[in-house]
């Protein structure tokens, strides 16, 4: 007597499970599309940042060449002396930048910040969470 009712109950449970599975599948597909769109945006942003960095490097190199020429003309220095002065200035500025950057990026970080960074990194690189 209970077999028809149990089979109806299992049928209803199977339909609810199939509906939930379908909804989850739709949600996963939408989420993957969003991640794909964000990945493209981040990659294009990274490419433009890299291009800007390379162009800034070339600009810095041009300014250093101009500085060496100026030092040679203004102070009658040899090229070795002018290059040495530019190298000392570069190393000093790099040291200050590294020191300041290290200080600014030092923790402590909030757990929410670390979790958000972790989730974002996993989403960008396509790793399962």
Tell me what pLDDT residue 37 has.
74
On whether the CB atoms of residues 83 and 65 are closer than 8 A, the answer is no
Tell me what pLDDT residue 7 has.
57
How much is the pTM? 0.55
Tell me what pLDDT residue 95 has.
96
Query: 123 burial class (0-12, 13-18, 19+ CB within 10 angstroms)?
Result: middle
Q: What is the pLDDT along the chain (129 residues), one digit of tens a residue?
A: 455 555 566 677 777 787 777 788 777 788 777 777 778 887 888 899 999 999 999 999 999 999 999 999 999 999 999 999 999 999 999 999 999 988 887 877 778 777 777 777 777 677 665
Query: 82 burial class (0-12, 13-18, 19+ CB within 10 angstroms)?
Result: buried
Q: CA distances (Å), 45 to each of 38, 105, 122, 125, in order?
A: 10, 22, 18, 15
């Amino acid at each position: 007597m209970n077999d028809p009712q149990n089979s109806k109950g299992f049928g209803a449970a199977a339909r609810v499970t199939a509906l939930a599975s379908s909804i989850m599948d739709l949600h996963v597909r939408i989420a993957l599309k969003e991640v794909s769109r964000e990945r493209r945006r981040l990659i294009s942003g990274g490419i433009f940042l890299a291009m800007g960095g390379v162009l800034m490097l070339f600009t810095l190199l041009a300014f250093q060449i101009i500085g060496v020429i100026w030092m040679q003309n203004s102070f009658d220095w040899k090229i070795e002396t002018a290059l040495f002065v530019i190298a000392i200035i570069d190393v000093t500025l790099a040291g200050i930048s590294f020191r300041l950057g290290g200080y600014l990026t030092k923790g402590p970080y909030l757990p929410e910040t670390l979790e958000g960074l972790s989730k974002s990194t996993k989403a960008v690189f396509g790793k399962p969470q």
